[in-house]
Amino acid sequence: MGTALRGKIALVTGAGRGIGRATAERLAAEGAVVAVNYARDEAAAGKTVEAIVARGGRAFPVRAELGVPAGVDELFAAFDRELGAEAPLDILVNNAGISMHAPIEQVTPDMYDRGFAVNTRAAFFVTQRALPRIPDGGRIVIVTSGVTRIAFPEGIAYAMTKGALETFTLTLAKHLGPRGITVNNVAPGIVDTDTNAAWLRGNAEAWRASAARAALGRVGAPEDVADVVAFLASGDARWVTGTTVDATGGSHL
């Protein structure tokens, strides 16, 4: 166990699996108490908590479906039940999101609205609710995507949701600078997660093609991204704010 985040409280949205789970485990490994948010899969969130506790860390599950009207209220009600309404929130990681693979011709209004509700609106209002609890010198990290840099016509609406978050990051960093709160985003490339499993795992051609996109020559792992998030959440990143850290392995350089 590390000590870089000892005494800190962190909330990671969408932490039941993938990048969210790896991030929760990494923050806990540095000493943070981690609230593990999940929408429906209680078993997956439980495995995240169990993995953290097994390594000597502290974590607890927080059920709340983000992207629906009551989601933010449910999130903080569950957080308060565990730690109390006066508990600070030192580190907020907005990771929850859904993918949308469709070119503009196939995007429906419902698909578009759902994507922005989960990927963009939820992060905005979770952050808004969290701000009074984040102490001066706190950390906000948002997981966006490499598709804000790399043209992705087969997922145009998805890319737009992530592009909006980059603007949010830039503007919020300026707004919170006087309080010493840093706001940054991490942009992953193709990562071996359950979200990508349907087209990536077990498909040797897709795996090779995905690996070839990266200058480093492989598909990313959730831990590759989680380590970058942990850096931005630490004191070492005290002079970094309002920026995007590209964690694509050098995709499409």
Q: To which residue do tokens 């984040």 refer?
A: 134
252 inside domain: no
Query: Could you tell me the pTM of the whole model?
Result: 0.97
In the predicted structure, residue 144 carries a pLDDT above the cut 80 = yes
Average pLDDT for residues 232-245, to the nearest whole number?
98
59 inside domain: yes
* HSE value, Cβ hemisphere, 13 Å, CA-based, for 174: 5
1 inside domain: no
136 inside domain: yes
CATH number at residue 96: 3.40.50.720
Distance CA 239, CA 81 (A): 34
Under 8 Å between Cβ of 10 and 91? yes
pLDDT tens string 149-196: 999 999 999 999 999 999 999 999 999 999 999 999 999 999 998 878
The number of domains in the chain is 1
Which positions are catalytic?
158
How far is residue 135 from each of residues 86, 87, 90, 140, 213, measured CA to CA in Å? 12, 10, 6, 11, 40
Distance CA 168, CA 165 (A): 5
Six-digit token pair at 199?
């087209």
Q: Any idea what the Cα angle at residue 232 is, between residues 226 and 237, rounded to 5°?
A: 150
3 inside domain: no
pLDDT of residue 2: 86
pLDDT tens string 86-107: 999 999 999 999 999 999 999 9
pLDDT of residue 195: 78
In the predicted structure, residue 135 carries a pLDDT above the cut 80 = yes
- Where residue 201 falls among pLDDT bands split at 50, 70, 90? confident
122 inside domain: yes
- Where residue 216 falls among pLDDT bands split at 50, 70, 90? very high
Domain that includes residue 33, residue range = 9-246
Q: To which residue do tokens 């999130």 refer?
A: 75
pLDDT tens string 17-74: 999 999 999 999 999 999 999 999 999 999 999 999 999 999 999 999 999 999 999 9
